[in-house]
Amino acid sequence: MSTEHLRGRFKKDTDKVVARYIASIPFDHRLYRQDIAGSIAHARMLGKQGIILQSEADAIIAGLISIREEIEQGRLQFKVELEDIHMNVEARLIEKIGDVGGKLHTARSRNDQVALDLRIFCKEAIAETIRRLKELQSALLDTAEANRDVIMPGYTHLQRAQPVLLAHHLLAYFEMLQRDVLRFKDCLVRTDVMPLGSGALAGVPYPIDRDFVAHQLGFSRISQNSIDAVSDRDFVIEYLAAASTAMMHLSRLGEELVLWSTEEFGYVDINESFASASSIMPQKRNPDTAELARGKTGRVYGHLLGFLTAMKGLPLSYNRDLQEDKEGLFDTVDTLHSTLEVFTGMVRTVKVNAERAGQAVDGGYLLATDLADYLVMKGLPFRQAHAIVGKLVSCAAGNGQDLSRLHLEDYRRFSDLFTVDVLDITAKASVAARSVLGGTAPEQVQAQMARAREAVRDV
């Protein structure tokens, strides 16, 4: 069997080059489980509704289950000339049970069939994506908890800015990933729509039961417009967009791990299991996992932009351009899932150098804002306090001194408001002072972690 039986009005066979060009089986074979699940539900409905005999439906279902086993055992060879997974399964079904297998396609089209398969795939992918996001969130929480007392420089413009708890910094990535979780959950709402029964574009002239099929396949809603149902790929675009945002977050985390693991920073050591060696320099331990995540982020962006471009000029309803929905989607799912998996392991095994982080906090001017706040507490307007501390820092830097080496008389050269208690301003005191909701004070960070643990447990 080939697709030539579909070319009744044609006088010429499909050119072999064209057949290879239009075939999607090299990549859409991945949808075999979803395709067979949809076909089993459809066959049950056809039998229940009396559209085909119940004995025919039973034979079709048994044949489909057998085909699924053949595929999983690697015993079924897919044929390019059959174009796609749908025709490969149908052809094998007819081989196994005879012409009755051809009745499976009653009351459906490849247009609504592929829309169904892809929606089932995306629903499953979303569930797995959320699971992996939560695993990485748990790893971040565990690492934050294990290093809850570590103080490090917080940065703006990649310049040391103010002291923060390392746990607070890591929780920022937890929040990013939590938004990703919510985005994928929201994407699921619009993915969870059952399109089968839309036919090629106009619906079907059979007494089908769409509610039955939706229930069989675990869909919560049914598409309301057959033209839209076969041509809608918004759910694919939404997954690609949510995945792009998630990869951006992972890329940012990867970039910081790359920086922090350099000798110049030295805040962390990435476990050897997640690093690689240099081919020529024996001393090197390269953070290739984190670097690759940065590179793969651009690849995922490309899939989003590519499919948006493919969709932008399509008239209703189905067009073969929609075949371009799968390769980029499959690669995006694989890329995001593998990146989440390796980042979870990398974060869990990273070793924090608390001493080096502490040296970076103590050896500069990170307490300058605290000094300005100190003067404000003494009654000085903040802008005047800012100017005074700016001059103090400029003078200290010119003399090669950091704030930890200044004495009371050094402070009083710039303002009589400085008294001996100014020497009590330390990194630990600075962190503790910021006890506002969302702040870096230890009790606030502990509260953040408790809320985060609840969020991870929330299904």
Active site members: 157, 278
CA distances from 297 to 125, 240, 250, 251 (A): 18, 11, 8, 7
- d(CA 200, CA 227) in angstroms, rounded, equals 8
Helices (H), ranges, 147-165: none
CA distances from 73 to 26, 50, 66, 69, 88 (A): 18, 34, 11, 6, 16
Tokens of 423: 């020497």
- d(CA 430, CA 390) in angstroms, rounded, equals 18
Amino acid identity for residue 133 in this structure: L
Supply angle C-alpha 237, 220, 202, rounded to 5. Answer: 70
Instruction: Give the DSSP H or E segment for 302.
Output: helix 288-311
Q: Is the peptide bond before 317 cis (omega within 30 degrees of 0)?
A: yes
- d(CA 221, CA 277) in angstroms, rounded, equals 52
Select from 146, 151, 155, 178 the least CA-distant residue to 350.
146
